[in-house]
């Protein structure tokens, strides 16, 4: 049987790793081999950066309008292969096919969004002295690096080229080693649309390929989406070779706070929706810590239990499936260990907590949607990101109960507040130390709205104008203006 191989893209050419190494990609539904990806060496990364350094001056010199035109073509070519990309992504990640179709469309849409924002990269003038003109302008960093997470491989790879490219940079991207195959398709599209060297795509492990990119002193600007632990390792490695501008979009133990006046059915629906079961709860923004006020706790919990029991775990290509498998054996082990720890710490397991029954689930990285109640506010279930389909329910009585938990957390990515009285919800939103708050809604990222976290959940903001500006350096110029 012939398996597809995702090639590296270096200077406009699809190539294997310089040492011939490849890594396997496994179907998380049944553990069968799906394909392989070239495993980039440090030499390959250095060649990719060299290609970017040669390409970015001409790319920048095209000007905003021409760069935008090329980027819109890139988005169109992505849409041309939408179904192929989504099928590959579903097989490689276990995420639902309908969700992956949405990811591909969102990626193309975000590239178009940034193409249209190019003329917002403005400088300023400054009235500092009467005999000079003081001005600033924005310039690209040159070659920038991006390392993305496994939960949305294609979306993160493709959508995150928008801001750097419109700013005039070249790029070296690293796909997630758990799911690299859609990155091979994106490499083919970029080869066909972009000038050689403007986008270079690597596959490989974080320890080898990612570290080589982080440590290359020519790459001043880095963006990373992933875990707190990996982000800290990136900061350490980068600091050993150069001073770098690094933005980090990391995880969270995100609260959904349900106030006493909330509509009970709406609260239950939002609690389930906020878990992002379409991605098996593998979402940094999932509201996995549900804070139910004691006056409505039992009534809302009953509704959530009923809803979660109806989620159909199964083949991610089937329209009736509500959740697929986890990404890998290692991650499955991590999630199951967190579930076991929760039980040991005295939480009450209400739904799930084990591999679904049946021969269809004998192989693969399956776990049923899981719900714990009676969760202690200081326990691991309430404080540690699991990155899986595990919802922890905590009872609260006073606002201080919620605010103390928030203050004690080292994370601060998102939160949701559910209430009839929006003024009370807004009061919570302003007190919670997180980067994004939904009120009476959950989940989606909206075009142009900045996204990022407080505390250890990240540095910087993505998905808006702020992201474009973060891929530029600011140069100040002073011109002497003599008197007439």
Task: Please give the positions annotated as active site.
Answer: 249, 284
Kind of pairing, strands 245-249 and 414-418? unpaired
Sign for the pseudo-dihedral over CA of 132, 138, 144, 146: positive
CA dist., res. 377 & res. 311, Å (int): 27
| Residue 224 burial (CB count, 10 A) | 25
User: Residue holding tokens 């010199």?
Assistant: 61
Q: In 3D, which of 253, 250, 254, 219 has the Cα closest to residue 233?
A: 250
CA dist., res. 56 & res. 73, Å (int): 19
CA dist., res. 18 & res. 39, Å (int): 9
DSSP 8-state secondary structure symbol assigned to residue 160: T
Pinpoint the alpha helices (H) of 152-206.
153-159, 162-166, 181-193
Whether the CB-CB separation of 107 and 154 falls below 8 Å is answered with yes
Q: Residue 137 pairs with which residues in a beta bridge?
A: 475
Work out the end-to-end distance of the chain between its first and last CA atoms, rounded to an integer number of angstroms: 81
The burial class, CB within 10 Å (0-12 / 13-18 / 19+), for 263 is middle
């Amino acid at each position: 049987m012939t398996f597809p191989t995702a090639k590296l893209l270096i200077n406009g050419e699809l190539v294997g790793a310089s040492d011939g190494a490849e890594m396997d990609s496994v179907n998380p539904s049944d553990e069968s081999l799906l394909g392989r990806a070239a495993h980039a060496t440090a030499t390959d990364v250095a060649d990719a950066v060299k290609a970017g350094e040669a390409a970015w001056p001409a790319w920048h010199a095209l000007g905003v309008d021409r760069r935008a035109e090329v980027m819109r073509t890139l988005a169109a070519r992505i849409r041309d292969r939408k179904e192929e990309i989504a099928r590959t992504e579903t097989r490689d990640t276990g995420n639902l096919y309908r969700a992956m179709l949405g990811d591909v469309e969102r990626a193309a849409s975000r590239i178009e969004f940034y193409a249209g924002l190019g003329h917002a990269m403005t400088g300023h003038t400054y009235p500092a002295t009467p005999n000079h003109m003081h001005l600033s302008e924005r310039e690209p960093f040159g070659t920038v690096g991006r390392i993305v997470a496994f939960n949305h491989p294609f979306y993160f790879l493709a959508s995150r080229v928008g801001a750097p490219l419109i700013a005039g940079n070249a790029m070296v991207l690293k796909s997630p080693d758990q799911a690299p195959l859609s990155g091979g398709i994106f490499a083919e599209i970029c080869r066909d649309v972009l000038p050689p060297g403007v986008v270079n795509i690597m596959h490989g492990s974080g320890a080898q390929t990612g570290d080589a990119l982080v440590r290359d002193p020519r790459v001043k600007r880095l963006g990373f989406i992933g875990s707190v632990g990996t982000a800290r390792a990136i900061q350490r490695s980068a600091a050993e070779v150069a001073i770098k501008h690094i933005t980090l979009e990391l995880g969270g133990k995100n609260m959904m706070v349900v106030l006493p006046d909330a509509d009970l059915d709406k609260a239950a629906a939002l609690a389930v929706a906020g878990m992002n079961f379409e991605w098996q709860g593998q979402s940094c923004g999932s509201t996995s810590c549900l804070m139910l006020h004691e006056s409505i706790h039992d009534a809302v919990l009953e509704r959530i239990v009923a809803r979660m029991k109806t989620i159909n775990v199964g083949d991610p290509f089937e329209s009736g499936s509500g959740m697929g498998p986890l990404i890998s054996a290692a991650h499955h082990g991590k999630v199951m260990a967190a579930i076991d720890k929760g039980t040991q710490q005295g939480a009450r397991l209400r739904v799930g907590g084990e591999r679904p029954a049946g021969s269809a689930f004998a192989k693969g990285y399956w776990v049923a949607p899981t719900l714990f109640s009676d969760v202690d506010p200081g326990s691991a279930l309430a404080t540690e990101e699991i990155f899986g389909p595990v919802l922890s329910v905590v009872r609260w009585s006073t606002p201080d109960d919620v605010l103390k938990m928030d203050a004690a957390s080292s994370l601060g990515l998102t939160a949701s507040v559910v209430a009839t009285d929006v003024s009370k919800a807004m009061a919570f939103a302003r007190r919670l130390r997180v980067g994004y708050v939904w009120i009476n809604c959950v989940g989606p990222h909206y075009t142009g709205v900045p996204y990022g976290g407080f505390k250890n959940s990240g540095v910087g903001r993505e998905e808006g104008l702020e992201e474009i500006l973060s891929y530029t350096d600011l140069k100040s110029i002073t011109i002497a203006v003599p008197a007439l």
